[in-house]
Structures are given as C-alpha cells and as structure tokens.
Amino acid sequence: MDNVQSTSSANVLDQSAVFAIKKQRDITKDTINTLVESTVQQSRSVNPAHLGQNIDVRA
C-alpha cells in the first residue's frame, strides 16, 4: 500500500510541477509580448515622418 501512495504522491507532484511550468511560460510570454509591443510603438513615434527624406546619399 505504501508503494501505491508513493506513486500517487509523485504523480500529484509531477502535475503540480507541470502546471507551475506552464504558468511561468504564460507569464514570460505575456511579458515578452508587452516589451516587444512597447519597442515597436516607441520606434514608430520617435522621429517625425518627414525626417530623412531630403538626405543626399550619393555624396
């Protein structure tokens, strides 16, 4: 009987570990998405649209 209880406990611990890893993965994914979106927004709004249109690149 002790062997069955040990197996059940190990199974519950494995399930808990898998749940914790999945939760951490979701949190990390959300954080990365937020960071990527913020950099895209910043890069679009840093310079005016007309900036760089009158540069002579054949110098």
Does residue 27 lie in a domain region?
yes
Q: How many domains does the chain have?
A: 1
Does residue 31 lie in a domain region?
yes
Does residue 26 lie in a domain region?
yes
pLDDT tens digits, 2-53: 555 666 777 888 899 999 999 999 999 999 999 998 887 655 556 677 777 7
Which CA distances in Å does 56 have to 36, 41, 49?
33, 28, 17
Burial (0-12, 13-18, 19+ Cβ within 10 Å), 21: exposed
At residue 50, the pLDDT reads 78
At residue 1, the pLDDT reads 46
At residue 12, the pLDDT reads 82
At residue 52, the pLDDT reads 72
